[in-house]
Amino acid sequence: MDKFVIKKAKTKSKRTLVDDTGSPTEDLTRKKCRGEEADALPEQTCTWKRIREENLSCDYTSLFKKAEADEIFQQLEKDIVYFTGDLSKVQVYGKWHNVPRKQVTFGDEGLTYTFSGITLSPKPWIPVLDLIRERVQLVTGHSFNFVLINRYKDGNDHIGDHRDDEKELVPQSPIASVSFGASRDFVFRHRDSRGKNSVRTIEPVKLELEHGSLLMMNFPTNVYWYHSLPVRRKVLAARVNLTFRKIKPPSQR
């Protein structure tokens, strides 16, 4: 744990995110985010943006510099084959829909992930995913055994409000969200400030997920906050997002 202490922010951000003290947090330096020197200088890995609200804890950083992110994005576009047919449908409020994006899962053999009426079995790991997963582990100290990949072909593709709170997730484990391609807005909304049961007024938390970035969603964010990737009609390019998760082995369920 000590090894991956998040650096305290020191300078002003160009964007509007705030940390738990309400102060603007530092923009990324990119300098030491690539991992080569992390073993030698563990205390100087990445510069993180801390996102803190009531029961929300996320940390954002650049995981790959642009040239490397470009290369990985190309590789993903070449190597990833997405689910089709029944595996690209979900059930919401009793109705089946094709998901407004493409999705696929990779992970250790024998794991499964169920949501909205579908159970997804992972494909075996491939080199480009190993590379990303290892970089995430290097930078965060967390290991993951499963990844859900979502591809948003343009700003019309999206995902609705939801929490990643499935029973098969290891309790209190973080989720690592790695993005490539088009930048997209990402929105958190507190569960007590949604719909007809809304009992409080809590501002949504908005951020932009950039090419080559990593967003760590830490406990208990997914207990209290829903998140979505809203439609953005002006976005014309594709985004590929990988959410690395820790899934309980079947024996523990």
Partner DNA sequence: AGACTTAATGTGC
Partner DNA sequence: TGCACATTAAGTC
The binding site for DNA (CB under 7 A) comprises 90-95, 97-101, 114-117, 155, 158-167, 185, 187, 189, 194-196, 198, 204, 230-234
What distances in angstroms separate CA 95 from CA 84, 92, 99, 229, one per listed residue? 18, 5, 12, 21
3-state helix, strand, coil in the chain (%, to 5): 20, 35, 45
At which residue do the structure tokens 């985010």 appear? 33
For residue 229, the minimal CB distance to DNA (Å) is 8
Nearer to DNA, 70 or 192 (CB): 192
For residue 10, the minimal CB distance to DNA (Å) is 30
Hey, what long-range contacts does 191-199 have (CB within 8 A, 24 or more apart)?
Answer: 191/163, 191/224, 191/225, 191/226, 192/224, 194/161, 194/226
Nearer to DNA, 125 or 224 (CB): 224
For residue 195, the minimal CB distance to DNA (Å) is 4
For residue 46, the minimal CB distance to DNA (Å) is 26
CA-based R_g, the chain, Å: 18
Tokens of 70: 């470009």
Nearer to DNA, 69 or 209 (CB): 209
Nearer to DNA, 19 or 164 (CB): 164
Nearer to DNA, 33 or 147 (CB): 147
Name the DSSP class of 134: H
For residue 40, the minimal CB distance to DNA (Å) is 38
